[in-house]
Amino acid sequence: MRIVKRSLLVATLVAFAFVVLGLGLALVFYPSEYVYRTLVWQESDAFDWQKFPSHALVASRRPYHFAEAPDARVPQLFASIVGVEDWEQFLQENQTQAFIVVQNDRLVYEAYFNDTNRDTIVTSFSVAKSFTSALIGIALDDGFIESIDDPITKYLPELAQRDPRFTAITIRHLLRMASGLEYEEFRPLLFNSDDVLTTYYPDQRRIALENTRISGPPGAVFRYNKYHPQLLGLILERTTGMSVADYLQTRVWEPLGMEYDGSWSTDSELSDFEKMETGVNARAIDFAKFGALFLHRGRWQGRQLISENWVIDSTAPFLPDNYDAYYPAFMHSLPGHAYYGYMWWGMARPDGATDFSAAGDRGQYIYVSPEKGLVIVRNGTDFGQLDEQWLSSFFEFATRF
C-alpha cells in the first residue's frame, strides 16, 4: 500500500512539474495576457463581449422601426418544421436569446427568452465576418480599395517581404476563404493553435502579419480561416484611415437607423484593433436591419448604402466545377446547393433563387430569403437541440411560408 501511495505521489509531482514547466515556457514565448485568457477564459462563449475592451457604436440619430404585423403562422409553421408542439417552449429550452422574423419590412414575429428582452445585447460570433465583407464593398464604392482582385500585398507590403508568394493572394481570395494560408485550429501545444491565437492573442495585427504561413496555392480550396477577416480589417484600417468600428458607424450604423448602441470588441487596450473574426455586439432587432439592407440590395430609405453590384456579387452562388474538391464534405449537410460567397453562406434553390446567411458559433444567424422578402434572426448562448441544423429549418420555412 505504501508503495502504491508513493507511486501516486511521484506521478502527481511529475505531472505538476510538467504543468509548471509548460506554463513557464508559455510565459516565455507568449504575452501573459494571452496565457491568462487561454487558461482561464478557455472556450469562447456568448458573453465574451463583457470580457474584451471595445469600440463603441452609437445609436442612430434617426432610428428606423419596422412596422409591426404579428403573424400567428410563424410559430405554427416553425413548430411543424422542427416537429414540436410549442415553438416558444422549444426556443426557451434550446438556449435561444432572441428570435425575429421580418417579411417585407414588417415585423411578423419577435420573441425573447432566457432572461433577455429587446434591449439585451447579443453577440455576433462569426456573423461579424459578413459585416467585414460589407465594409470591404463600401470601401470599394468609396474608392479606398481599387479592386478586390488587387493582391493583398498592395495594402500589406510587409507580407511580401516575408514571403513573395503572398503577392498571389488577392482580396477576393480572403473574402472567399480560399487564400491557401495554413490554418490548424488546434495543435498539441495549445498556445500555438490558430483558433486560440486568433481568438485570444492581444495583438491581432501582429499575428495576422507575422504568424500567417502559405500551405497551398490561392483559389484551389475553401478553408475556413480566421486570419482572413483580420487581414481584411488591416486593409480597411489602412485604406480608410479610420478604425473599422468608426467606418461601420459612419457608413452603416448611422444611416441604417440602428435603434441601440452597440460595440465591436477589440483585441486589447494596447493594440485596440477590432476582433474581425467575431465581436460585433448589438441588439437582435438591429442585426435584423443589417439583413434587411442586403435583402434590399444595399438600398435603404432612398439611399444606396452599399452598391447593388456588391450585394449581388457577395451573395451570388459560387459553385465551381470541382465542387467536391473545392468545398469540405460538410457543405453537403447544408440545405439547397450550398456555397460560400464573400463571407456569406449561400444556399441555391432548384428554381435558381438563392438564400444566404451570416452565421456564427453557438447559433447566431441573420438569414435572408430575397424571393420571400424574409429576414430571420436567431441569437443564443448555444445551438441547442437543432445543433447546426438551424439553416435547414430557415430554408424550409422560407420554402413554405
pLDDT in tens, 112-132: 999 999 999 999 999 999 999
CATH T-level topology, domain 60-400: Beta-lactamase (3.40.710)
Q: How many CB atoms lie under 10 A from the CB of residue 157?
A: 12
Task: Name the residue type at position 57.
Answer: L
> What does the radius of gyration of the chain's CA atoms come to, in whole angstroms?
22
> Which grid cell is 94?
434550446
User: Using CA atoms in the order 173, 177, 178, 182, what is the torsion angle rounded to 10 degrees?
Assistant: 120
Domain ranges of the chain: 2-30, 60-400
> Of 108, 204, 208, 118, nearest to 166 (Cα)?
208
- Rounded to an integer, what distance in angstroms lies between the CA atom of residue 112 and that of residue 98? 5
Alpha-carbon distance of 236 to 53, in angstroms, equals: 20
What's the CA gap between 172 and 152, in Å, rounded? 9
Beta-carbon contacts of 216 under 8 Å, excluding residues fewer than 6 positions away, are 180
> Mean pLDDT, the chain, as a whole number?
94
SS (H, E, C) the chain: CHHHHHHHHHHHHHHHHHHHHHHHHHHHHCCHHHHHHHHHHCCCCCCHHHCCCEEEECCCCCCCCCEECCCCHHHHHHHHHHCCCCHHHHHHHCCEEEEEEEECCEEEEEEECCCCCCCCCEECCCHHHHHHHHHHHHHHHCCCCCCCCCEHHHCCHHHHHHCHHHHHCEHHHHHCCCCCECCCCCCCCCCCCHHHHHHHCCCHHHHHHHCCCECCCCCCCCCCCCHHHHHHHHHHHHHHCCCHHHHHHHHHHCCCCCCCCEEEEECCCCCCCECCCCCEEECHHHHHHHHHHHHCCCEECCEECCCHHHHHHHHCCCCCCCHHHHCCHHHHHCCCEEEECCCCEEEECCCCCEEEEEEECCCEEEEEEHHHCEEEEEEECCCHHHCCCHHHHHHHHHHHC
Task: State yes or no: pLDDT of 10 exceeds 70.
Answer: no
For residue 17, the model assigns a pLDDT of 41
Residue-wise pLDDT for 226-261, tens only, equals: 999 999 999 999 999 999 999 999 999 999 999 999
Is the pLDDT reported for residue 13 higher than 90?
no
Query: Per-residue confidence at 388, pLDDT binned at 50, 70, 90?
Result: confident
| More confident of the two residues 188 and 219 | 219
Give the model's pLDDT for residue 6.
57
Q: How confident is the model at residue 189 (pLDDT cuts 50, 70, 90)?
A: confident
Q: Would you state the pLDDT for residue 28?
A: 77
Q: Is the pLDDT of residue 202 over 50?
A: yes
What count of residues does the chain have?
401
CA 287/CA 282 separation, integer angstroms: 7
Candidates 113, 111, 85, 107; CA nearest to 99 is 111
Q: What is the pLDDT of residues 250-299, one digit of tens each?
A: 999 999 999 999 999 999 999 999 999 999 999 999 999 999 999 999 99
Q: Check: pTM over 0.75? Answer yes or no.
A: yes
Write the pLDDT tens digit of every residue in 351-362: 999 999 999 999
Q: Give the chain's largest Cα–Cα span.
A: 83
What pLDDT does residue 15 have? 41
